[in-house]
Structure 1
Amino acid sequence: MLGAFALIAAAIAIPALTGWNVHVRSFPPLHAEWTPRVGLGLPAAVLLGALVIWRGQRVAKQLTWRRLQIVVFVVALGWLLSLALVDGWNGIGTILNHRYEYLGTAREVTDFGATLNEYVARIPFQHENNWPVHIAGHPPGALLFFYVLVRLGLGSGLAAGLVVTVLGATIPVAVLGTVRLLGAEDFARKAAPLLVFSPAAIWIAVSGDGMFSAFAAWGAYALARSATARSRQTKVGIRRPWVRMVVWAAVAGLLFGYCVMLSYGLLLLGVLAVTVLVVARSWWPLPVAAVFGLGVVGVFAANGFAWWEAFPVVHQRYWDGIASRRPPEYWMWGNLAAFAMSAGPAIGASLMGVVSGGIATFRKRPRFAPLSATLQGEAGRKSAGTSMRVVLLLAAAGWMMIALADVSNMSRAEVERIWLPFAPWVLLGATVFSERTLRWLLVVQVVFAILLQSLLQTGW
């Protein structure tokens, strides 16, 4: 964690002290401005943070799983709203109303089919009626989502912001459910407070990428449901496991396929999908999920938007814009600092846990044994080791997606929101530490999030 703080400090200090223009608004590595304030939601954020530090771990261990899911959703929603409301009610809808976001364009669309047919042509800067930056930089799935909200009468900034916030509150529910399905309920319970009280909530509540994260998390959950359908038959008496496997694989394919139509970078979710199947030791869902995922992409292509035709055009627009002026010498590591601010400094502990815990676990000499005090005998030790491997592999998948995104050279700055779908999986790596260490990590995450939201005005 100290390494994460050092990285953040260097990313802030070097441009400020040297005058190095790294081409983001005011407060690199974040797209933000220094605007200290005390807002409406601050007391609620402080109260929720204090409560989770005091009782969060105990509650997560004691509640039945169903009740824990409900509590996680409700508390996550409260945390998201309290941070957003530091800026008052404007904190929920103002950013979505900005001209470079999706909502304004969604209000103007009257024929989405016609929009798809002209989508690629309007991406380049040279087009006289080119798309706003976020529309141009993403496939049309994001625009379609907000277009549907507009058609449903939820097209105001506040209404759309509340929809995105509610979806964002389901992210930890889906991630924890995935971990449990893969055989690590003990670690899921340990992870619950850390996943809910992440600084990522600052961006999840106000950006389209928060909605992307929800689709990605539920895609992983559906894939885990499919991959474990046969094993769950013997445990809970499920009938027709093959039917359930196919249905859940289809749902996973639809969700992951739609993720590809939300953001070009979410193609990297393939790493997460493969990891889920590896952990579950089942490849049966893969062909079904692949067919339905490709089907989503095919439907968009049949209606005028071919992903493979759009991507090189987007790549060119990216380099025609400000990205070409953002120095890679800074952003190759500045991106990681921005991610450490958005996901929280606990990612430093996560990386340490993945590396150290991974080496120790796969040598069959576990260095971290969070359950050793409660699990007795050889069976208990084996169970703890298996659970640990689940979270280590999922966290390693998160880090792999981050590494690939960083070296792609298509993520210079703005990753505090772009990498939101990867953040909860990365944070799982911190759960290999003791409960005492986790409590201190939670303190840091809560305090860091509240200070960040109270001192900086983020751009999305």
Structure 2
Amino acid sequence: MRHSPLRIPIAGFAAALLLVLLAFAVPPLFDWQVWARSASSLPDRAIPPLHGMWEPKLLGPGTVPALLIGVLGGRWLWRRADELPFGVLLLAGYALCLGWALSLALVDGTDGLSRVLGSSGEYLRTAREVGGIGHLLDIYIDHIPLDSPDNWPTHVAGHPPLALLFFVGLVRLGLGGDLAAGVVVTVLACTTAPAVLVALRALGIEDVARRAAPFLVLTPAVVFMAVSADGLFGAVAAWALACLALACRAHGRRRLAWSVLAGLLFGAAVMMSYGLPLLGLLALAVLAAARSWKPLVPTALAALAVVVGFAVGGFAWWEAYPVLSRRYWDGIASIRPASYWMWGNLAALLISMGPVVAAGLAEVGARRRVLERPLVLLVGAAVASIVLADLSRMSKAEVERIWLPFMPWLTIACAALPPRLRGWALAGQVLTAVLVQQLLYTSW
């Protein structure tokens, strides 16, 4: 019996919807407290598997612009992505993504851009109090444990110091207000889509980049990228991989320059998030896809130089991680049941990047032998990264933002969808983003 070419992606999408439905339904149906927010949160307001809460909004300042950009901008980009000059595609894609992200955030008014970074658990309040950088690095590890005097707020403690130092820099540039910092983070986070497109073109699959562009630009993940520092980390990671891809096709000094830049960005990513050493899998996928291993050594040395530089300055990543792990297990992680979050995490991931991505992933898995090799390798590396992150149990809940750096490399799987489904899939992405923003208080 001959299978319909649409059966596999539709089955993948249906499985994703079922997983999301179960993740929402199981805790209330079985009176299962899974602590999506915190031990002190009101259980009737939390909506696992997301960190957010139920808060429907009929209409906000950004609702109409978001709908216009999602529908009209998405339709225009979907139709023109194949024919636009590549540079124009990058600029247009970035402009649409930024407008999309800002409009969705502004559904909640300017609070949508300021409330997150202004909260007590985030970076800005600490950044405003930082004096000398050297002293900060010297004491950083000492303030991670929950029982330490003046322990760091949640996000500062949960990340290496470059995340905090970014916001220290904003404060010293006069951009340390809640709203100003939120805008800066959103502006930078939205460069992720162009970075991924650059990487795909450098790997010789520009046609894939063009097919993937609308899905990368109008991703529901922008709901969580806007003002989330993890969106910033994702942009750094994406440009690191783009520079590595450019290094693979360059020669001589240009190859060395791109390799070093890629390494510096990889090192910066690792010093922003403890989970981003997993980018090594995507980096290896880039090298394998390009069939060029010459950039490996200079890239690795440049990344190592960043990590060692911080160690010389007073912060050793390898000493901090065990301390952070202890704080993690001393806190809410100890009561969040792995029996829910091991699969609830995947549901949160699907909501953030859009459940239609599961249709693309199913298509890539089924047709991996005939699809473009770089596409298969990148998607496979992203899937492996998510699996390892999930199995580590260091990401129980909140993955709708924590896993943002890996989402675009899963989203490119939508380029493999049959042409008849791509328009519907893009509409599904837009609808997902609007529903999440309009119905929930997302916290990010």
Q: Quick one: which amino acid aligns to residue 124 of structure 2? A: L
Q: Which residue does 1:13 correspond to in 2? A: 25
Q: Which residue does 1:151 correspond to in 2? A: 172
Q: Which residue does 2:81 correspond to in 1? A: 60
How far off is 1:351 after superposition?
2.1
Q: Which residue does 1:49 correspond to in 2? A: 70
Q: How do 1:355-434 residues align onto structure 2 when only pairs under 5 Å count?
A: 355-358=365-368, 361=369, 366=370, 385=371, 388-434=372-418
Answer yes or no: is the 8 Å Cα contact 2:137–2:314 preserved in 1. Answer: yes
How far off is 1:347 after superposition?
2.4
Counterpart of 1:455 (choices 435, 439, 442) is 439
Distance in 1 between the 2:227 and 2:25 partners?
27
Q: Quick one: which amino acid aligns to residue 160 of structure 2? A: P
For residues 218-256 of structure 1, give each alpha carbon's deviation from its aligned partner in whole angstroms, at most 9, with x where no partner exists: 000000010111xxxxxxxxxxx2100000000000000
Q: Quick one: which amino acid aligns to residue 2 of structure 1? A: A
Answer yes or no: is the 8 Å Cα contact 1:102–1:146 preserved in 2. Answer: yes
- TM-score with structure 2 length normalisation? 0.94
Q: Which residue does 1:342 correspond to in 2? A: 352
Deviates more, 1:138-147 or 1:47-56: 47-56
Answer yes or no: is the 8 Å Cα contact 1:101–1:134 preserved in 2. Answer: yes
> Is 1:27–2:39 an aligned residue pair?
no
**RMSD of aligned Cα (Å):** 0.9
For residues 87-142 of structure 1, give each alpha carbon's deviation from its aligned partner in whole angstroms, at most 9, with x where no partner exists: 11111111001110011100110111101100001110110211001111110010
Q: Quick one: which amino acid aligns to residue 73 of structure 1? A: Y
Identity of aligned residues (%): 51
Q: Which residue does 1:40 correspond to in 2? A: 61
Answer yes or no: is the 8 Å Cα contact 2:224–2:400 preserved in 1. Answer: yes
Answer yes or no: is the 8 Å Cα contact 2:73–2:96 preserved in 1. Answer: no
Q: Which residue does 1:179 correspond to in 2? A: 200
Q: Which 4+ residue blocks in structure 1 deviate beyond 4 angstroms? A: none
Distance in 2 between the 1:112 and 1:97 partners?
22
Answer yes or no: is the 8 Å Cα contact 1:392–1:428 preserved in 2. Answer: no
Q: How do 1:101-140 residues align onto structure 2 when only pairs under 5 Å count?
A: 101-140=122-161
How far off is 1:290 after superposition?
0.8
SS in 2 for 1:62: coil
Answer yes or no: is the 8 Å Cα contact 2:203–2:289 preserved in 1. Answer: yes
Distance in 2 between the 1:57 and 1:199 partners?
16
Answer yes or no: is the 8 Å Cα contact 1:227–1:280 preserved in 2. Answer: yes
Q: Quick one: which amino acid aligns to residue 79 of structure 1? A: W
Q: Which residue does 1:292 correspond to in 2? A: 302
For residues 183-216 of structure 1, give each alpha carbon's deviation from its aligned partner in whole angstroms, at most 9, with x where no partner exists: 1001100000001111100011121001001000
Answer yes or no: is the 8 Å Cα contact 2:212–2:413 preserved in 1. Answer: no
Distance in 1 between the 2:229 and 2:258 partners?
25
Distance in 2 between the 1:215 and 1:411 partners?
20
Distance in 2 between the 1:253 and 1:196 partners?
26
More helix by share: 1
Deviates more, 1:97-106 or 1:54-63: 54-63
Distance in 2 between the 1:185 and 1:52 partners?
21
Distance in 2 between the 1:84 and 1:248 partners?
34
Deviates more, 1:328-337 or 1:347-356: 347-356
How far off is 1:348 after superposition?
1.1
Q: Quick one: which amino acid aligns to residue 51 of structure 1? A: L
Q: Quick one: which amino acid aligns to residue 442 of structure 1? A: L
Answer yes or no: is the 8 Å Cα contact 2:117–2:124 preserved in 1. Answer: yes
Q: Quick one: which amino acid aligns to residue 62 of structure 1? A: E
Counterpart of 1:209 (choices 226, 230, 240) is 230
How far off is 1:59 after superposition?
1.2
Q: Quick one: which amino acid aligns to residue 51 of structure 2? A: H
How far off is 1:162 after superposition?
0.9
Deviates more, 1:50-59 or 1:144-153: 50-59
List runs of 5+ in structure 2 lacking aligned partners. 1-12, 38-45
Q: Which residue does 1:267 correspond to in 2? A: 277
> Is 1:301–2:311 an aligned residue pair?
yes
Q: Quick one: which amino acid aligns to residue 274 of structure 2? A: Y
Counterpart of 1:244 (choices 241, 254, 261) is 254
How far off is 1:391 after superposition?
1.2
SS in 1 for 2:174: coil
Distance in 2 between the 1:199 and 1:30 partners?
14
SS in 1 for 2:397: coil
> Is 1:197–2:218 an aligned residue pair?
yes
Answer yes or no: is the 8 Å Cα contact 1:117–1:304 preserved in 2. Answer: yes
For residues 260-296 of structure 1, give each alpha carbon's deviation from its aligned partner in whole angstroms, at most 9, with x where no partner exists: 0000000100001000000011111111011110000
> Is 1:221–2:242 an aligned residue pair?
yes
Distance in 2 between the 1:214 and 1:348 partners?
22
Q: Which residue does 1:375 correspond to in 2? A: none
Answer yes or no: is the 8 Å Cα contact 1:53–1:439 preserved in 2. Answer: no
Q: How do 1:161-172 residues align onto structure 2 when only pairs under 5 Å count?
A: 161-172=182-193
Q: Which residue does 1:354 correspond to in 2? A: 364
Q: Quick one: which amino acid aligns to residue 243 of structure 1? A: R
Distance in 1 between the 2:96 and 2:241 partners?
22
Answer yes or no: is the 8 Å Cα contact 2:290–2:374 preserved in 1. Answer: no
List runs of 5+ in structure 1 lacking aligned partners. 230-240, 367-384
Answer yes or no: is the 8 Å Cα contact 2:336–2:396 preserved in 1. Answer: yes
Deviates more, 1:426-435 or 1:265-274: 426-435
Q: Which residue does 1:374 correspond to in 2? A: none
For residues 414-452 of structure 1, give each alpha carbon's deviation from its aligned partner in whole angstroms, at most 9, with x where no partner exists: 000000000000011121122221111111110011011
- TM-score with structure 1 length normalisation? 0.91
Distance in 2 between the 1:173 and 1:55 partners?
17
